[in-house]
Amino acid sequence: MTDKLIIFDTTLRDGEQSPGASMTRDEKLRIARQLERLRVNVIEAGFAASSNGDFECVQAIANTIKESTVCSLSRANDRDIARAAEALKGAASGRIHTFIATSPLHMEKKLRMTPDEVFEQAKLAVRFARNLMGDIEFSAEDGYRSDIDFLARICEAVIKEGATTINIPDTVGYAIPELYGEFIRTLREKVPNSDQAIWSVHCHNDLGMAVANSLAGVKIGGARQVECTINGLGERAGNCSLEEIVMAVKTRKDYFGLEVDIDTTQIVPASKMVSHTTGFVVQPNKAVVGANAFAHASGIHQDGVLKARDTYEIMRAEDVGWSANKIVLGKLSGRNAFKQRLQELGVMLESEGEIMAAFARFKDLADRKSEIFDEDILALVSDESVTAEKEQYGFISLAQHSETGEMPHAKIVLTVDGQEVHGESDGNGPVDASLKAIESQVNSGAEMILYSVNAISGSTESQGEVTVRLQNSGRVVNGVGADPDIVVASAKAYINALNKLHDKSDRVAAQF
């Protein structure tokens, strides 16, 4: 039993399954670099067999990341496993992660397979994977609701076939901490060769207990790997939150007695990057990374903190990266300083032209906004990466007029498949008028199911970050836009979402 806890981050795979949270190749690469700076042990880069786009993302991350193990998910079949191995070929350290459902409900209703058939397929899949790569993880989907004797039989067999990590997920967030911890411990006791593999937990948050269940799996069950995501991102109620797991283990080392490799000062930068990229805003009272996580409003609390910080603070804000939110550049800053800051933020622009275009946007922003923060830079670079790609729709300019007692009116100039078009419309407000002006030219037929505004940094001069969620023909996408003008940010977010709707790349869903 090791005294080290392995942190397995699945933000780029399971986290991306949140409705509308899909990311581009460049966005995934940027987050992967930040996860490497965070010193995550394993980065699950995606599900290579799900689409050509996901294969390319896994491949690009495998070829880029040097310090963390890069992992690809695969179903328990030869095609998926071979595709994962091919994508991981350039990795300094690679892992194939194969899974199959083991609960009676999933085997009967979803797989339509008998337990013996599932047992044989699991064995064959791990055997095939082990011949392609040395590091193999096996997951029993819906493991917590599986018959424990059947599950023990499968785990023993796949370890014999070469699985080096065994993951027992609480796929539907049904577990209770004490019961889940005991389940993991009992399962390990039933598997004769359990000491030949690392045991892992992967918990969903449907009842709000993903972190508690994961910690119980570690403390009671003896698991030494936790699968988690930045900000707890994930479909339905999300996944186990990386930042909460890490800080719980570090803060209560007296109880857990475990070490983690994580550089905690990179937690808040990672949180902000993922939030901005996906459009999923972090709630202010979120543990560790919420805006209020280290705020003290009560007079009694304030008095205590001023006298001695540890009266009410069990962690220091700077230890998790809050001190990083500082002014970094201004309008007198030069191109080299800007380029250096991009590198520090994990943004690697591939050509000199892209750097110059991003720098021009930075100078334009600096003329309108005297204080520029890291978040502003990430926002403008994200906008640049969107416009640099060949998109169906592109934003050029917006003019709108609104005054009390008058119907707001907006005029939009945008590109549709490279051709400049003009639209205009009235609306209930300037944002409504602007989005209707866009629709007058694109006629998407999409339904807006979310509109959210968030200040990127904390002043009235701040850029506004707008998230728009659209739904059409069963597809759900998020669009994100940032600008000091909220109406312009809204138009950019709407166009960003339209472009994602236009991208018809198929994906195979995978969840455990």
218 Cβ contact list (under 8 Å, min separation 6) = 5, 201, 224, 226, 249, 256, 258
Categorize the per-residue pLDDT at 325 as very low, low, confident or very high, splitting at 50, 70 and 90: very low
Q: pLDDT tens digits, residue range 126-136?
A: 999 999 999 99
In degrees, rounded to 5, the angle at the alpha carbon of residue 428 between the alpha carbons of residues 425 and 429 is 85
126 and 176 part of one domain: yes
Categorize the per-residue pLDDT at 388 as very low, low, confident or very high, splitting at 50, 70 and 90: very low
Residue 190: CATH number of its domain: 3.20.20.70
Of 499, 486, 463, nearest to 410 by C-alpha is 486
- The answer to the question of residue 320 being in a domain is no
- The answer to the question of residue 439 being in a domain is yes
Instruction: Indicate if the pLDDT at residue 305 is higher than 60.
Output: no
Categorize the per-residue pLDDT at 504 as very low, low, confident or very high, splitting at 50, 70 and 90: low
pLDDT at 307: 63
- The answer to the question of residue 497 being in a domain is yes
244 and 359 part of one domain: no
| Tokens encoding 117 | 């058939």
Note the pTM of the prediction, 2 decimals: 0.86
pLDDT at 383: 62
pLDDT at 31: 95
- Total count of domains within the chain: 3
- The answer to the question of residue 31 being in a domain is yes
| Tokens encoding 157 | 């067999």
Of 30, 27, 36, 29, nearest to 9 by C-alpha is 36
Rounded distance between C-alpha atoms, residue 87 and residue 233, angstroms: 24
380 and 396 part of one domain: no
446 and 419 part of one domain: yes
Q: What residues make up the domain containing 62?
A: 6-278
Looking up tokens 């869903």 gives 509
231 and 82 part of one domain: yes
Query: H or E element: which one contains 101?
Result: strand 94-101
Rounded distance between C-alpha atoms, residue 321 and residue 266, angstroms: 6
Higher pLDDT, residue 346 or 418: 418
